[in-house]
Amino acid sequence: MAGQGRGAGRRAAACLLTALLTLVGCAAPESADPAPEQIRTLLDRHARALLDRDEAAYAVALDPAFAPAAIKEFDRLAEVPFASWEYHLTDVDRQVGDRARVRAQLSYRIDGYDPAPVTTERVLDLAERDGRWYVTGDRPAEGATTQQLWQQGDVEAVQGARSLVLGVGQSEARLKEIAAQADRAVPAVSAAWPEDWAGRVVVLVPASVDAMGGLLGAPASSYRGIAAVTTGEVGGGPDAPADRVIVNPDAYGVLGDFGQQIVLTHETTHVATRSTTSGATPVWLSEGLADWVAYRDTGRTAAQAAPELRRAVREGDLPAGLPDDKAFAFGGDAEALARAYEGGWLACALIAERWGEPALRAFYRTVGEHPQREGAVEKAFAEVLGTTPEAFTADWREYLRERLG
């Protein structure tokens, strides 16, 4: 009898559960918003049309009011050899009525040059008409790089043996000269840094220093005296976004052939060492190594290549220590900045001369492999060079006296 009672109770509970499910769980579910999937499909087709250089298919996704500006940008990209162009939808915000604002990560890769894509965050505005979505606007997301090169004008591409130079507002002859210099830089870097890297470089040449600031999302005044910079993600490994060397056409243009070659070899070194450079790497080491590679086979003496530091040493103003990161900040005292670069270069030259080039490369790698800045240099000095920061600094100061005094 007891067993039968428990069975009856279970049957009653089951009947109650069935009733609740009927009232609650079996109601018709609300239909999911189809907009995200429709927009994702739209952006996939939009990207495919750009890669295929199919203007008609590209225009299908565009609102008529936005189409002229978008088609102009489409035309500016004609010479860039893209291997991929993809939108990854991250958020869809339905606006009032038939409007939507979406955030998407745009990633693109240049064929033969980028082992991993360049990525940037975009905000796209869309409108729905007759069941179809159309793009009405496209702009950088807050905090993203202000501009891409092709948003500044028609892009002309010059392909070298080991380089791709993309320019806006530049003559083809000038772009070919830069490509030839980049082609010479790559083997010079590989000889000094015989590690695994792409062995190719992409150089962007905007129309002016103001345009350069637009690419970097910073005031042009920060880069006015800087001939070139390299963008990239330090310590990112093979999947990190691809590097770009960005030339300041104003400052680069006033240099002679030798100076221009030094600049491009220096920047190409940053590309080659990117995966080995990390937050643990002090700037004196990363910039010093790049200058050491650039000057390595030029025959230039320390006195010739470090004029500002030489002047300071001869005036009795010998640096007390290796330059800190703040000494390399752009936009400040140009002479102090030059002394910081020269001091970092001579520190790396001292290591290569006294301990050997393999030791310099091992020192750089050991510092970059450390999980944090604190203790990184100390560990590398002890394990690779068998010295201390204090002893090395004393040696470096004496090296400056000998080479520059």
Please compute the mean of the pLDDT values over residues 356-372 and round it to a whole number. 97
Find where tokens 């495919």 sit: 48
Say how far apart CA 322 and CA 103 lie, in whole Å: 44
Alpha carbon separation from 368 to 234, 283, 286 (Å, rounded): 9, 11, 10
Confidence of residue 251 (pLDDT cuts 50, 70, 90): very high
Of the candidates 153, 230, 151, 154, the one whose C-alpha atom is nearest the C-alpha of residue 197 is: 230
pLDDT (0 to 100) of residue 147: 84
Least confident of 113-122, 226-235, 289-298: 226-235
Average pLDDT for 381-386: 98
115-123 long-range contacts, CB within 8 A, separation 24+: 115/198, 115/238, 115/242, 116/238, 116/239, 116/240, 116/241, 116/242, 117/84, 117/86, 117/241, 117/242, 118/241, 118/242, 118/244, 119/241, 120/144, 120/145, 120/148, 122/87
Strand-pair category, 244-247 with 201-205: parallel
pLDDT of residue 239: 60
What integer pLDDT is reported at residue 237 of this predicted model? Answer: 57
pLDDT confidence band for 225 (50 / 70 / 90)? confident
In this predicted structure, the answer to whether residue 240 has a pLDDT above a threshold of 70 is no
Q: Which of 22-26, 37-41, 368-372 has the lowest mean pLDDT?
A: 22-26
- Mean pLDDT on 350-371: 97
User: What pLDDT score does 217 carry?
Assistant: 85
Average the pLDDT over 176-203 and give the result: 96
Q: Domains, the chain, ranges and CATH?
A: 35-144 (3.10.450.50), 156-268 (3.30.2010), 278-405 (no CATH)
The predicted-structure confidence for 254-287, as pLDDT tens digits, reads as follows 999 999 999 999 999 999 999 999 999 999 999 9
Average pLDDT over residues 229-249: 79
Using an 8 Å Cβ cutoff, are 348 and 367 in contact? no
Q: With bands split at pLDDT 50, 70 and 90, how would you rate the model's confidence at 31? A: very low
Q: Give the chain's mean pLDDT.
A: 89
Residue 16's pLDDT is what? 38
Of 3-12, 101-110, 217-226, the range with the highest mean pLDDT is 101-110
Q: Is the pLDDT of residue 399 over 60?
A: yes
Predicted confidence at residue 236, as pLDDT, reads 55
Quick one: pLDDT at residue 28? 42
**The pLDDT of residue 33:** 77
3-state SS class at 169: coil
Instruction: Compute the half-sphere exposure of residue 192: CA atoms within 13 Å on the CB side of its CA.
Output: 26
- pLDDT greater than 60 at residue 21: no
Which of 7-16, 25-34, 47-56, 210-219 is the least confident region?
7-16
pLDDT of residue 235: 59
128-153 pLDDT tens trace: 999 899 999 999 888 776 789 999 99
- The reported pLDDT for the residue numbered 296 is 97
Predicted pLDDT at 333: 83
The pLDDT confidence band at residue 253, using thresholds 50, 70 and 90, is: very high
